[in-house]
Amino acid sequence: MSQTVDRALSILPLLAEGPANLEQVAGRLGVHKSTALRLLRTLHEHGMVYRQSDQRYRLGARLFALAQQAVENLDVREIAHPHLVELNEKCGHTVHLAVYEENEVLYIDKVESRYPVRMYSRIGKPVAITVAAVAKLLLADLPEPERRALAEKLDYPLYTSRSTPNATAFLAELAKVREQGWATDLGGHEESINCVGAPVRGADGRLVAAMSVSAPNVVVTAEELLTLLPLVRRTADAISREYSGNTRVPDTQDQKEARP
């Protein structure tokens, strides 16, 4: 990267901390004020920075517009799919990817198990929102008032004896998921099917999707499936890094401190 481009790009994270004047920018870059001014003028011409009436510079609206456009054009399914396939090849079980949209959790990708036993789930169909591991992850990430309001208006069908029975139990489960950073469905929807899931996060640390591995008891026990949790979480972290462009995915403590 040329020195000029490098210096210009270095101005953006500086201004992300707050408005700065010419002297502050020059000092941070370690250049003469005339050089800093030339760089700022170029960025200003392209709408990346804006010069305020107090002669300080801040990030420009064009930069935010480009960032929003980039986010909108990201396809989490396209990014995640190779990772889901790789996970499926390693463990052999069914792998799902799901998102939360308009009070529903929908499967947007699925890689079938290598075993003869197949799951009924289909891409584009909603999941059993009160029991599915992916649903617990996505709803646990919602702000507390929204989480509580949604839980209180849901129906709680008793698919099995292990299904979530009511809003109180569901909110308690979501609190647990939020704390630990992963989720399970151990026979909550079907007695013979177990599932373990992990979150896919965007650059702001919030969930953009959730992924899971599911398998029937005739293939592996619930305890055996849970041993795959580290692999599932590593896969979700890899998707998060590629989706967000972050080289580091926040750990559990970071995520707790970042959430409202």
Kindly report whether the global pTM for this prediction surpasses the value 0.75.
no
Asked if 36 contacts 10 with a C-beta cutoff of 8 angstroms, the reply is no
Q: Which residues of the chain have pLDDT under 70?
A: 1, 67-74, 117-120, 247-260
Asked if 80 contacts 209 with a C-beta cutoff of 8 angstroms, the reply is yes
The number of CA neighbours under 13 Å toward the Cβ of 13 is: 6
Q: Which CATH number fits domain 1-68: 1.10.10.10, 3.90.650.10, 3.40.50.300, 3.40.50.2300?
A: 1.10.10.10
Asked whether this chain's domains 1-68 and 73-242 adopt the same fold, the reply is no
Condensed to tens digits (0 to 9), the pLDDT of residues 232-245 reads 999 999 999 999 88
Q: Say which CATH topology domain 73-242 has.
A: Beta-Lactamase (3.30.450)
Condensed to tens digits (0 to 9), the pLDDT of residues 17-36 reads 899 999 999 998 899 999 99
Q: Report pLDDT for 117.
A: 66
Condensed to tens digits (0 to 9), the pLDDT of residues 211-229 reads 999 999 989 999 999 999 9
Domain-by-domain residue ranges, the chain?
1-68, 73-242
Q: Which residues contact 127 (CB under 8 A, 6 or more apart)?
A: 98, 105, 106, 107, 121, 134, 135
